[in-house]
Structure formats: structure tokens, C-alpha cells
Amino acid sequence: MSGIQSEPSGALLAVRNLVVQFSSTRGFLVRRHVSTVRAVDDISFELQQGEIICLVGESGCGKTTTGRAIVALERPVSGSIVFKGLELVGLGARQSHRVTRHIQMVFQDPYSSLNPRMTVGASVAEPLVIHRVGSPEDRRQRVGELLDAVGLHPESSAQLPHQFSGGQRQRIALARALALNPELLILDEPTSALDVSIQAQILNLLADLREKYSLTYLFISHDLAIVRWLGDRVVVMYLGRIMEVAPSDDLFQTPLHPYTVALLSALPVPDPTVEDQRKRIVLEGEVPSAANIPVGCRFAGRCWLWRELGSPEQCQEMEPELSCVAKDHLVACHYSGEAAVRPFGLDPSVD
């Protein structure tokens, strides 16, 4: 792609110190600023070519906002998003139009992400029309190829979205996202609105498409079972910040952040004996408001380890930095070593 070159680090995508916030206002005739919600608060991570990174965390932690900022659906307040050497933040309209060919997003709800008045063929071909790719005949042929690639019959291009099931609609959304041969797909919980049996089909399809088209995925999810099966690396977010980053196997075998340990303790185990013996960690209290983030570690008020250690003042006075504690394993916790040596941390599925 002209004007875009690889990052010196080899990363396809590099997000650095990204901040996205929203202002809340009141009033009918005169709008008055009420508060500022810091949805994404100074996060950094890199995505390598061909890799699958999974963003996980509770609802409202900033996962989707991060994905939307990368595809310019949200405007960052500060920070940097570099795709193959090109800075995307503040990019002009013409260059931004070119870059969108290489970064596409698949949204969570397949029922609302497709225009109900457009045929499937028109929806899949829309990116080709916008970017003026090929002749009408070339586009029809391309639509047929894409529908076949996602497991739908090419003749279904004449039908409307309401004639398809949720799983089929998500396949159509994937076909549309692939129309321009992107390098990076941002998948915003693409299976959460589907039945479990259909989820498995879509996940297998994603694995096949990754292999066929040499794709890189940023997969946003709250389903840890899916993340464990699909992801190469996992980024755990809480209240707009990254708590832990690690290769998938390392994270599930030895979680080092108390929040990650608590998340994994809620993951069902298919072995009844282990399920009866394991000890779950129940987080107390509510997630603080993103409009009023507490001083110090934002997780301290709900942290089981903080209570076990006698509620050290350090956690309420100083926010921990994301630091490397093992190979490719980063944690934002003052006492991550304590979480690792306790029974919860060594194996969250067994007491």
C-alpha cells in the first residue's frame, strides 16, 4: 500500500497511550457540561502480523471503544494508533479513506449491522462501490466468491437480511468485511448474540478465514472459553486500563493480576470433581464510575488480594504501572507476585 510501511518493531498495529473520553451534558436550550467519562485511559499494546489478540474484561471496561477508535469511529483525545508505519490519529479524510481498505470491523449484533432494505449482494458489494473497485460484473463475481468463502450459496445475494438466521447474518457481515482484502479484522464480540452451536460454527469459520486470507484479528470478547481457544495473546482490561497482557497459555495457567485470577475462577470446568473442589473468588462491590475514577489502583476497592494483605495504603495512593514480570507477561499490580504464589494464582480452577 503506497505511503504505508511496516513498523520498525515489526508490529502491524501499535497503540500507544491511547485516551478516549466522552463528555456528558445537560440542559435543553443551554447545554451544560456535567462530567467527563474516560472510557479508555492511556493504554498501549502491539499487534503482530498474523496474530490474534483478545481484549477481555467486564462490560464498560473500554474494549469496544478501543476497537472503534482504531477504525476512526471514535476520536481519541490523545495517544497514537500506528498501522504499518502510518499514524492514524488526525489522519486526513483522503488518507483515512485509503487505510479503511486494510482495517475492517465486524460488529456484535448481526441484526442491526446490515441494512434491512439492501439485498445481501448489495451489502457485500457496498465497500467495492465506495472504493470504486472493479466493474459491476467484477463486483458480482467477487460477491459470489465471498459468500461461498463464508459458507453461503452465491444465489442468496438476491435475498434480504430478514430471510437469514443470526448466524447467517454474521457470515454476511464477515463477507462484507473481507470484500476489500483487509489485513486486520476487528471483531467486536461477533458470537455473543448467537446460540452456542452457531458460535462454534462462526469460530471455526474465523479460524479458516484467517488461514485462507492471512488475516490478523483483534478479537473483543467477554467469553474466556472462546478467548482460550482462539487467542494467541490476551489483553485484560478494567475500567479503561490494561491490567494484564500475556500469551494465552501463560495467562490461563498462571494469571498474575488479582482481577484476572477472579475472572478465571468464574470460568466453568467440565470436570465435576474439580468443579466441586475449586474455590471461586467473588468480587465485592460495584465497578467504580468512569466519570469518577478512584485515586490509586482502580481495582483496589474490589480486590480480594488487597483485603488479604491487610489493605495496604500503597494501592489507594499510587496507580500501578504496567510492567514486565516474566517473558512477554505484563501486569499492572503492586503485589502481582503475591497473586502468583497463592493457591488462586497457581491454579484458579482448584483450591
* Per-residue model confidence (pLDDT) at position 340: 58
Which comes out higher in pLDDT, residue 284 or 331?
331
* Per-residue model confidence (pLDDT) at position 9: 57
* Per-residue model confidence (pLDDT) at position 25: 74
* Per-residue model confidence (pLDDT) at position 296: 93
* pLDDT tens track for 92-116: 877 887 888 899 999 988 888 899 9
The mean pLDDT of 178-182, rounded to a whole number, is 94
Which residues are within 8 A (CB) of 124 and not within 5 positions of it... i.e. 6 or more apart?
A: 143, 146, 147, 157, 172, 175, 176, 179
* Cα dihedral sign, 134-135-140-141: negative
* Per-residue model confidence (pLDDT) at position 91: 84
* Per-residue model confidence (pLDDT) at position 197: 83
* pLDDT tens track for 331-346: 999 988 776 555 444 4
* pLDDT tens track for 17-66: 999 999 877 777 777 777 788 999 999 999 999 999 999 998 889 999 99
* Per-residue model confidence (pLDDT) at position 2: 37
* Per-residue model confidence (pLDDT) at position 327: 86
The mean pLDDT of 145-151, rounded to a whole number, is 94
- Supply the pTM of this predicted model: 0.88
* Per-residue model confidence (pLDDT) at position 136: 92
The mean pLDDT of 273-298, rounded to a whole number, is 82
**Residue type present at position 314:** Q
* pLDDT tens track for 321-332: 999 988 889 999
* Per-residue model confidence (pLDDT) at position 275: 66
* Per-residue model confidence (pLDDT) at position 291: 84
Q: Is residue 260 part of a domain?
A: yes
Give residue 326's domain range.
Answer: 254-351
Neighbours of 206 (CB within 10 A): 21
Q: Is residue 300 part of a domain?
A: yes
Beta bridge partners of 237: 242
* Per-residue model confidence (pLDDT) at position 350: 39
| Continuous H helices in 117-165 | 120-130, 136-149
Exposed, middle or buried by CB within 10 Å (0-12, 13-18, 19+), for 244? buried
Query: Does position 123 have pLDDT exceeding 80, yes or no?
Result: yes
CB 17 within 8 A of CB 79: yes
Q: Is residue 43 part of a domain?
A: no
Nearest by Cα to 185 from 238, 285, 107: 107
Express as a percent the part of the chain with pLDDT over 90.
60
Q: Is residue 194 part of a domain?
A: no
* pLDDT tens track for 64-93: 999 999 999 999 999 999 999 899 998 887
Q: Is residue 258 part of a domain?
A: yes
Strand boundaries in the chain, DSSP class E: 11-26, 32-48, 52-56, 78-83, 86-87, 103-106, 184-188, 216-220, 233-238, 241-247, 323-326, 329-331
Express as a percent the part of the chain with pLDDT over 70.
92
* Per-residue model confidence (pLDDT) at position 181: 93
Neighbours of 173 (CB within 10 A): 24
- Mean residue pLDDT across the chain: 87
Which comes out higher in pLDDT, residue 275 or 235?
235
* Per-residue model confidence (pLDDT) at position 339: 64
Radius of gyration of the chain (CA): 22
Which residues are within 8 A (CB) of 316 and not within 5 positions of it... i.e. 6 or more apart?
A: 294, 295, 296, 297, 300
Query: Does position 166 have pLDDT exceeding 50, yes or no?
Result: yes
Measured between alpha carbons, how far is 129 from 138 in angstroms, rounded to an integer? 11
Neighbours of 73 (CB within 10 A): 12
The mean pLDDT of 172-180, rounded to a whole number, is 95
Q: How many independent structural domains does the chain possess?
A: 1
The mean pLDDT of 132-153, rounded to a whole number, is 94
Neighbours of 36 (CB within 10 A): 14
Q: Is residue 324 part of a domain?
A: yes
Q: Is residue 110 part of a domain?
A: no
Q: Is residue 184 part of a domain?
A: no
Query: Does position 5 have pLDDT exceeding 70, yes or no?
Result: no
